[in-house]
Amino acid sequence: MIRIEGVSQVYSMTGSEPVHALQDVSFDVADNQFIALVGPSGCGKSTLLKIVAGLVVPTHGILTVDGARVDGPRRDVGIVFQSPVLLGWRTVLENVMFPVEVLGLDISLYRKKALELIELVGLQGFERKHPSQLSGGMQQRVSICRALIHDPSTLLMDEPFGALDALTREEMSLELLRIWEQRKKTILFVTHSIPEATLLADRVIVMSARPGRVAADFEIKMPRPRTMATERSGEFVEYSDQIRRVIYGGRA
Amino acid sequence: MSGRLHSASRRTARWLASEAWPPFLTFVLLMAAWEVIVRVFSVPEYILPAPSAIGRETWNVRSQLAIHTWATLSTSIAAFVTTILLTVPLAVVITAVPLLRKTIYPLIVLMQAVPKIAVAPIIVVLLGSGEAPKIAIAFLVAFFPLLVDTTTGLNAVPAELLDLGRSLRATRLQEFVKIRFPTAVPFFFSGLKVAVAFSVLGAVVAEFVQSDRGLGYLIVVSTSYWKTPLAFACITILAIMGLALFFLVSFIERRFFSWYSHA
């Protein structure tokens, strides 16, 4: 379980007012839960992900994972960014193997796992291609494989489909759900899209900006597996509207 | 691999067929015009020799020219290799140690305000005669573009990629070997292409200042005796030398690092 307790993050720059990226954020994430973080730009969602990854130590507050305090980068996370940031000089397979090499794990054992993952995301046959030969959606699939290869317990996704076109985006969301059903992980998923958050998550945490704090925490009690049909259900519309009301206040 | 190479050579052939002949034709026409003007207006050879006169002179003194060409080429290559060996570690250190990036790097950039050709005689005073001062002068001319390009390349890594490395607790060495060096490869090669041309330039300048051989030396001597066709012969050889070295670097890049530039 991930526990975020009273976390604040202040960036102080010389000559200007300190920026409160996060203020007193607290919530728990149960194992294998899918959490979507929604909010306007500048609400500190990305900072929160970095804190959970241990890349940033919060100015105030505590992050614990299974009771142990996190005070540095922890290898038990996989990260997917908005852009795939693949290594252009490596093939698809070599990109997926990157964490294995850095972590010094058994190459031949993980090669098999890498090939399985590549197949899981539907890229079989592209193992020896280079990123420049793939579409944006395919590149992002590779980066998801790279995040999963060392079998981390937590997957951190920072607007992973934000740079994709609308059609690919929808397809990738359902794909992610399928992967998650097969390989259960705790997922923290940052997005600007309310429908995306509602469709994917067990819980949608809405954040407000400047300072970033938790504005609302919705449990999405829709049955799984969810499909495109889910988006047409009354429940889905109701949840989306509730979230929208929190974000836009009286304006919606 | 062989397929990629094959298609590359096919591309080159197509390029020669479609892109190369217009400038080549223009060059031939310009040479012809030069020849005609010199002949029609009877321009004295010591002022402006015709291309045919330059060609004749090149042929007549070919063995002597070969010796001087070799001298300049070997100095240029020695300077180029020295430049790589000194500049790449410097770029790595500047990237790895923030204190050095803040202290030394700005000074090196400021030092570019000093015209290095003006410093050449002082280098000769410092290092005496022989190859050492020539290599030092050529290094001073050539290292800066390579340093700037390599440093830029080592720092051109997306922040997310560095975060990814840090989240896996990559060591500093892993960060450089697996992320920064490959990212820097295309930058490094564009720096190399400038540095190789500047190495030749630096070598010629060094030969102007102090030398008893090399094409730079030969230009100074031949013009002081009004043997202008010989000076033009030297210039032609220098141009060919610069082009050949440039294409050699390009070839190595395309042959061995083709994927690195597709990042």
Contact B164 A101 (CB under 8 A): no
- Residue B236: pLDDT band by 50, 70, 90 thresholds? very high
User: Order of strands across the sheet with A2-11?
Assistant: A19-29, A2-11, A60-65, A68-69
- Res. B240: pLDDT tops 50: yes
**pLDDT tens digit string along A113-156?**
999 999 999 999 999 999 999 999 999 999 999 999 999 999 99
Distance CA A183, CA B97 (A): 41
Domain shared by B84 and B180, yes or no: yes
Instruction: Nearest chain B residue to A88 by CA: give it.
Output: B263
Q: What percent of chain B is modeled with pLDDT above 90?
A: 80
Domain shared by B51 and B36, yes or no: no
Domain shared by B17 and B122, yes or no: no
CB B185 within 8 A of CB B62: no
Classify burial at B200, counting beta carbons within 10 Å of its beta carbon; exposed 0-12, middle 13-18, buried 19 or more. buried
Domain shared by B168 and B208, yes or no: yes
Domain shared by B118 and B8, yes or no: no
Task: Tell me the residue range of the domain where B222 lies.
Answer: 47-262
Domain shared by B96 and B214, yes or no: yes
Domain shared by B52 and B15, yes or no: no
- Residue A198: pLDDT band by 50, 70, 90 thresholds? very high
Give how far Cα B101 sits from Cα of A118, A163, B192, B217, Å.
41, 34, 21, 39
DSSP chain B: -HHHHHHHHHHHHHHIIIIIHHHHHHHHHHHHHHHHHHHHTT--TTTS--HHHHHHHHHHTHHHHHHHHHHHHHHHHHHHHHHHHHHHHHHHHHHH-HHHHHHHHHHHHHHTTS-HHHHHHHHHHHH-SSHHHHHHHHHHHHHHHHHHHHHHHHT-S-HHHHHHHHHTT--HHHIIIIIIHHHHHHHHHHHHHHHHHHHHHHHHHHHHHS-SSSHHHHHHHHHHTT-HHHHHHHHHHHHHHHHHHHHHHHHHHHHH-GGGGG-
The predicted structure's pLDDT at residue B262? 55
Closest partner CB to A132 (pick from B165, B182, B262): B262
The residue-averaged pLDDT of B95-115 equals 90
The residue-averaged pLDDT of B124-144 equals 93
On chain A, the residues whose CB falls within 8 A of the CB of B160 are 79, 81, 83, 85
Q: What percent of chain B is modeled with pLDDT above 70?
A: 95
User: Order of strands across the sheet with A186-191?
Assistant: A77-80, A154-158, A186-191, A34-38, A203-208, A213-219
Per the document, the length of chain A is: 252
The predicted structure's pLDDT at residue B5? 54
**pLDDT tens digit string along B17-42?**
777 888 899 999 999 999 999 999 99
The mean pLDDT of chain B is 91
Hey, is the C-beta of B178 within 8 angstroms of any chain A C-beta? yes
Domain shared by B33 and B61, yes or no: no
The number of C-beta contacts closer than 8 angstroms across A and B is: 62
- Res. B8: pLDDT tops 70: no
- Res. B1: pLDDT tops 50: no
The residue-averaged pLDDT of B157-182 equals 95
Closest partner CB to A130 (pick from B163, B170, B262): B262
Domain shared by B58 and B35, yes or no: no
Domain shared by B116 and B54, yes or no: yes
- Residue A16: pLDDT band by 50, 70, 90 thresholds? confident
Domain shared by B104 and B3, yes or no: no
Domain shared by B72 and B194, yes or no: yes
Number of domains in chain B: 2
**pLDDT tens digit string along A170-187?**
888 999 999 999 889 999
Task: With 0.80 as the threshold, say if the pTM is over it.
Answer: yes
The predicted structure's pLDDT at residue A250? 55
| CATH number assigned to the domain comprising residue B84 | 1.10.3720.10
**pLDDT tens digit string along A44-90?**
888 999 999 999 999 999 999 999 999 899 889 999 999 999 999 99
Contact B158 A83 (CB under 8 A): yes
**pLDDT tens digit string along B27-82?**
999 999 999 999 999 999 999 999 999 999 999 999 999 999 999 999 999 999 99
Distance CA A67, CA A5 (A): 12
Closest partner CB to B167 (pick from A73, A101, A132): A73
CB A73 within 8 A of CB A226: no
Q: Check whether the bond before A225 is cis (ω within 30° of 0).
A: yes
